[in-house]
Structure 1
Amino acid sequence: MNGFDFTLNGADLAALPSGALWWAAERLLAVSDLHLGKSERLARRGGTMLPPYEVRDTLARLEADIAATRPAAVLCLGDTFDDLTAMENLPEQEALWLTRLMAGRRWIWIEGNHDPGPTSFGGTHLAELRLPPLTFRHIAAPGAAAEVSGHYHPKARLGGLSRPCFLIDAARVILPAYGTYTGGLRSDDAALCALMDDRAIAVLTGKAAHAIPMPRAQIRPRASTSPR
């Protein structure tokens, strides 16, 4: 699957090129920030008009990951829907597609800031999931350990090209946004630098997962104020 294998608190995980996280021992596939229905939500609120294909594109990639890993459980790590109205307004074909993907496996929805309430699709809705030795939540908690989260849509630049990425250190992994049209936050943003330790890596998504040292903001030396 051209993923990047790593260990977090004794759990052997794989960062997949698609942006999904695979935990083989638990047969668990985790994805974050699909933001299904973003184009509908923007149109409803009079914002930028986007081509209405993002739901189908995101579900097609999720279907491919499910086919490749054959998970017993799928964990949606928050902001699966762009808001709760977007969830209710999913076109019938897309809603049926999502329902088919859920069939025959455990499906867990972690609440996000965009979709704080239970979904109408069934499954299990939780504020967070503790599955030893890991804890899954939408937004990283400062000082937490053995944590898997999303929310920030991290991106990193390599060779002039910016890609969604996983951020990984000894305490946590932050997943990239899985959905189409989701945008992102550069890894050198102060919020991400404050969460990740100095040895953190960024695993870029794409045709294959590619690990690099996490890009951080360059600290400029202060100009000298001593007399000449």
Structure 2
Amino acid sequence: MNAALRTLLSPARCPSGGLRVSIEGEPCVLRCSGALWVLNHRTLIAADLHLEKGSAFAARGQMLPPYDSRATLDRLEAEIDALQPAAVVLLGDSFHDAKSIGRMAPDDRARLDRLAAGRDWVWLEGNHDIAALAGSLDALPGEVVETLSLGSLNLIHEPQPGVQPGEIAGHLHPAARVAAHGRGVRRPAFVTDGRRAVLPAFGAFTGGLDVRDPAIAGLFGEPPLAAALGERRVHALPWDRLS
């Protein structure tokens, strides 16, 4: 990490294994789960849950284990239990398609209500779930918005072109590949230059796009930090070490 990037990010290791950084002046923690914790606002942000992706594939004859929603909600609930956020913001593509909510198991659907109880709960519209959210405004907890301001941060599903100070986005499912122990390891990753950030996908059945792909790398004027998710810590990776 070069000196200018280090100055902007002010990175510090947290006891949880997460990486504390500054994004447009807002203290944040890059969590091992792939969620972003915005400290001063006690807000938990997660992108691209893609709930019911497994059942969507099954409906088209591709059999995947039907437990992705439960696994994703388990992880989200663990983050909520650990942090007790005042607000949870889901950064778009929370549901995989327009019919996902109707396919949810009753227990999984009821768990959304329990997780949202006693806190602000915000769904951002994504390209996969805009129809699902529009058809369930009275059935889902919380509110549905297109974008959301949070201090100096601007939360949106899809990254916008050009200089976007404070932008926190998802959509691209960034992943980093590094060489370790003689083999390549590919992990979901945060990407940030201290001015904006792209979050990894939080869902259990989500793929990833290499952080060096122009769709991601082109958002940053200078090489950013790729912060790969490990089991117990977030690993800050210099751009020139990516393989």
User: What's the TM-score once normalised by structure 1's chain length?
Assistant: 0.91
Question: Could you tell me how far 1:217 is from its partner in structure 2?
Answer: 8.6
User: Residue 142 of structure 2: which of 119, 123, 131 is its match?
Assistant: 123
Q: Which residue of structure 1 lines up, in the alignment, with residue 24 of structure 2?
A: 9
Q: Which residue of structure 2 lines up, in the alignment, with residue 86 of structure 1?
A: 100
Question: Which residue identity lines up with residue 235 of structure 2 in the other structure?
Answer: H
Q: Which residue of structure 2 lines up, in the alignment, with residue 209 of structure 1?
A: 234
The residue correspondences of 1:116-155 to structure 2 (distance < 5 A) are 116=130, 117-118=133-134, 119=136, 120-143=139-162, 144-155=164-175
Whole-angstrom CA distance in 2 between matches of 1:203 and 1:2: 12
User: Residue 180 of structure 1: which of 204, 212, 216 is its match?
Assistant: 204
Q: Which residue of structure 1 lines up, in the alignment, with residue 73 of structure 2?
A: 59
Whole-angstrom CA distance in 2 between matches of 1:170 and 1:182: 25
Paired residues of 1:187 and 1:215 also in contact (CA < 8 A) = no
Q: Which residue of structure 2 lines up, in the alignment, with residue 95 of structure 1?
A: 109
Q: Which residue of structure 1 lines up, in the alignment, with residue 7 of structure 2?
A: none
Whole-angstrom CA distance in 2 between matches of 1:146 and 1:185: 22
The runs of 5 or more residues in structure 1 that have no matched partner are: 219-228
The runs of 5 or more residues in structure 2 that have no matched partner are: 1-15
Tell me the alpha carbon deviations over residues 169-202 of structure 1, each in whole angstroms, 9 at most, x when there is no partner: 1321000000011011011112111112323011
Question: Could you tell me how far 1:216 is from its partner in structure 2?
Answer: 8.8
Name the stretch that deviates more: 186-195 or 20-29. Answer: 186-195
Paired residues of 2:177 and 2:242 also in contact (CA < 8 A) = no
Question: Which residue identity lines up with residue 86 of structure 1 in the other structure?
Answer: S
Paired residues of 2:176 and 2:242 also in contact (CA < 8 A) = no
Moved over 3 A (4+): 214-218
Which SS does the other structure have where 1:59 is aligned? helix
Paired residues of 2:56 and 2:100 also in contact (CA < 8 A) = yes
**Percent identity among equivalent residues?**
41
Compared CA separation, residues 215 and 140, structure 1 to 2 (3 A): farther
Paired residues of 1:142 and 1:195 also in contact (CA < 8 A) = yes
Paired residues of 2:18 and 2:32 also in contact (CA < 8 A) = yes
Tell me the alpha carbon deviations over residues 145-178 of structure 1, each in whole angstroms, 9 at most, x when there is no partner: 1100000000001221100000011321000000
Question: Which residue identity lines up with residue 17 of structure 1 in the other structure?
Answer: C
Which SS does the other structure have where 2:99 is aligned? helix
Q: Which residue of structure 1 lines up, in the alignment, with residue 177 of structure 2?
A: 157
Whole-angstrom CA distance in 1 between matches of 2:221 and 2:64: 37
Question: Which residue identity lines up with residue 191 of structure 1 in the other structure?
Answer: A
Task: Report the structure number with the largest CA radius of gyration.
Answer: 1
How many residue pairs match? The answer is: 217
Paired residues of 1:31 and 1:77 also in contact (CA < 8 A) = yes
User: Residue 24 of structure 1: which of 12, 16, 39 is its match?
Assistant: 39
Alpha-carbon RMSD: 1.5
User: What's the TM-score once normalised by structure 2's chain length?
Assistant: 0.85
Which SS does the other structure have where 1:148 is aligned? strand
Question: Could you tell me how far 1:45 is from its partner in structure 2?
Answer: 2.7
